[in-house]
Structure 1
Amino acid sequence: MSERKAMAMAQTALFTWGQTATPPRLVNIRENIVFEAHLKDGRHVALRLHRPGYQGRAGIEAELRWCEALSAQGLAVPRPIRGINGRLTGGAGNRVASCVQWLDGGPIGSGDQPLGPDAAQVHMQAEALGALIAQLHNASDAAPPKDFARHAWDGEGLLGDHPQWGRFWEHPALSPTQATLLQKARAQARDQLAAALDFGPIHADILRENVLATHHGLALIDFDDCGPGYRLYDLATALVQGWGDPLWAAQAEGLVAGYRSRRALADDQAGLLPLFVALRAFASAGWIVSRAAGDDPRQIAYIERACVLAQHMLDGTPPWQYKV
């Protein structure tokens, strides 16, 4: 979509919130289109034009109600801004629109950046993130969202015939050997999932770009993929970008330690983390197929990561070394 068309849609959508004093600023055009804006009453917000065909209005409003409840409990998440009609969403064209509180801060990193310069720094940063994820899960259990009409990150959503992000074992760039490996890993993963005990509302996309470092600590943004799921999947998503980093073990150890500082995590459950890191890698390999050109280097990189982690899972060897 062109920037001009996106701006026109944003200005139409903003009527739901009483418009703005100045034109909104385009932040990015990806699956969702995001603008920064200042409403006429002075509130600083992020306007999202949600991608069509992923979550319907009911699903988007379920996400917003959950974030509203989390914010009320003191969690550092974007607080939804209701429109002048009291509704959580508006719209423009074929897109549902929503406004959330703008959070000042910058992402803690991206997929190709290490978390810190040394093991101690990585451990400390990962520990803070693990504690935040535990707080998210605790708050969700304390006040479970009602009518949480969202896609589930369960066995079917991750490994079924039609996973949420695509049939990763059919990626067109897979070699026959790689395809056989992923099919074997998929079958074993389905059996191992039965051992995971903690299931409930999760963020489902705690990548480094969705974690902001603010003056008040870490904050979580972009709940677009949230839904019912295994809690270990949130920890695994926070870990998967560390693949190939020589300090990955320090990240894994810090994340688990931080989580345990706020929420119980038994040894047998922590021992399933390599399984869930593989599951996230599988999902990403399915996701990239329709999101990037065939010659995008991420296509091959995601396949390689999925296959390496699949082999670790089949061999029963963690891809890092840490104490559980």
Structure 2
Amino acid sequence: MADPVRLSELPGVTLVRELGGGHQSRVFEAVLGPAGRRVVLKVRDADEVDRAVVEARVGAVADLAAVEPMVCRPLPLDGALVRDVAGDDGKARLATCVEHADGTPPDVRRPADAYAMGRALARLHAAMADLGPRAIPAVATLDRVGSPFEGPVQLLHGDVSAGNVRLTPAGLRIFDLDDCGYGPPLFDVANAIYMVLFDHVVSGGQGPATAFEEPFTSGYAEGTGIPVDRGAVDGYVDLRVGALGAWLDDLPSAPAGIRRASPAWRQVLRRFVQGYQPRGR
């Protein structure tokens, strides 16, 4: 296959196909080493990220995967968890590699899958709380709006969605922790709900978008042993939508996925923000 970022020049890497990605990165399936291990490679423009933060995040995920088998483990490329690569255009990029999760995404319309996602997030949070301090900032939304929250703060996934989870014969797997950061645990709960709501509205889904929430929050509460404060969750969903609106109004401050999106896609985002009804209780 075409290899515009020269990943196949790395020792032991054989590209299989490009999986996609967004405006922030490109994602490839590959096989690694003589055993042909299936992996996923992610490539980011070096000038769009803080290398020290990328390294801190990948290191944290590696430590997390060592104690929590749900988490797809980062793997070194030519001896490094964060590897410099240069594309055909000469632009500097950073490449990372993780285990491939061979399974199916959960169906957010199925209560059993939503419940399993909630239980898994609770388990993930418990493991992340034990990692200890890292040189990683707050999750992007909270970093954008400051810190209008009280209570415990810990490392979070930062981008929980059905797209970052796989149901496998060996159990549920979680990946794509590239946006992990600090915040209150219920923000991750709210962000997962936000992602379902966004996809539902943008795709013109049928039925209530809230059908995911009850089994998901029930699973999370069951996993933590603590009832979910739905008012706090609603407030964080509002905050998430508000941050999206603020980024659209101030593109230079926005994440690359928004800043580099097409005008047509930013218009879709704008319509979502304008049509959103605040949930805060």
Specify the TM-score bucket, using the shorter chain as the normaliser: 0.7 to 0.9
Task: Supply the AA of the counterpart residue of 1:27.
Answer: L
Q: Deviations over 1:199-234 (max 9, x none)?
A: 100011112212222223332221121111121111
Relative to structure 1, the CA distance from residue 99 to residue 295 in structure 2 (aligned partners, 3 Å threshold; closer, same or farther) is: closer
Relative to structure 1, the CA distance from residue 197 to residue 284 in structure 2 (aligned partners, 3 Å threshold; closer, same or farther) is: same
Tell me if structure 2 keeps the 8 A contact 1:75–1:136: no
**What TM-score, normalized to structure 2?**
0.80
Q: Which runs of 5+ in 1 are unaligned?
A: 110-114, 161-189, 317-324
Task: Indicate the residue corresponding to 1:32 in structure 2.
Answer: 25
Q: Identity of counterpart residues, as a percentage? A: 26
Tell me if structure 2 keeps the 8 A contact 1:55–1:150: no
Which residue of 213, 217, 241 maps to 1:281?
A: 241
Residues 111-150 of structure 1: pairs in structure 2 closer than 5 A: 115-116=108-109, 121=110, 123-144=111-132, 146=133, 148-150=134-136
Q: Deviations over 1:130-172 (max 9, x none)?
A: 111111110012332x4x2223138861414xxxxxxxxxxxx
Task: Supply the AA of the counterpart residue of 1:38.
Answer: V
Task: Indicate the residue corresponding to 1:246 in structure 2.
Answer: 207
Task: Indicate the residue corresponding to 1:91 in structure 2.
Answer: 84
Q: Deviations over 1:31-78 (max 9, x none)?
A: 211221112332221122123334322222222222222222233122
Relative to structure 1, the CA distance from residue 150 to residue 250 in structure 2 (aligned partners, 3 Å threshold; closer, same or farther) is: same
Which residue of 220, 228, 232 maps to 2:182?
A: 228
Tell me if structure 1 keeps the 8 A contact 2:15–2:29: no
Offset at 1:290?
2.0
* Superposed CA RMSD: 2.6
SS in 2 for 1:106: coil
Task: Indicate the residue corresponding to 2:51 in structure 1.
Answer: 57
Task: Indicate the residue corresponding to 1:72 in structure 2.
Answer: 66
Q: Distance in 1 between matches of 2:44 and 2:210?
A: 36
Tell me if structure 2 keeps the 8 A contact 1:154–1:229: no
Q: Which moved more, 1:26-35 or 1:231-240?
A: 26-35
Q: Distance in 2 between matches of 1:223 and 1:130?
A: 16
Task: Supply the AA of the counterpart residue of 1:218.
Answer: L
Tell me if structure 2 keeps the 8 A contact 1:232–1:273: yes
Task: Indicate the residue corresponding to 1:19 in structure 2.
Answer: 12
Q: Distance in 2 between matches of 1:197 and 1:235?
A: 15
Q: Distance in 1 between matches of 2:259 and 2:47?
A: 14
Tell me if structure 1 keeps the 8 A contact 2:12–2:34: no
Relative to structure 1, the CA distance from residue 141 to residue 295 in structure 2 (aligned partners, 3 Å threshold; closer, same or farther) is: closer
Task: Supply the AA of the counterpart residue of 1:106.
Answer: T
Tell me if structure 2 keeps the 8 A contact 1:292–1:299: no
Task: Supply the AA of the counterpart residue of 2:81.
Answer: L
Task: Supply the AA of the counterpart residue of 1:206.
Answer: V
SS in 1 for 2:264: coil
SS in 2 for 1:277: helix
Q: Distance in 2 between matches of 1:207 and 1:64?
A: 19
Between the two proteins, the alignment pairs up a number of residues equal to 256
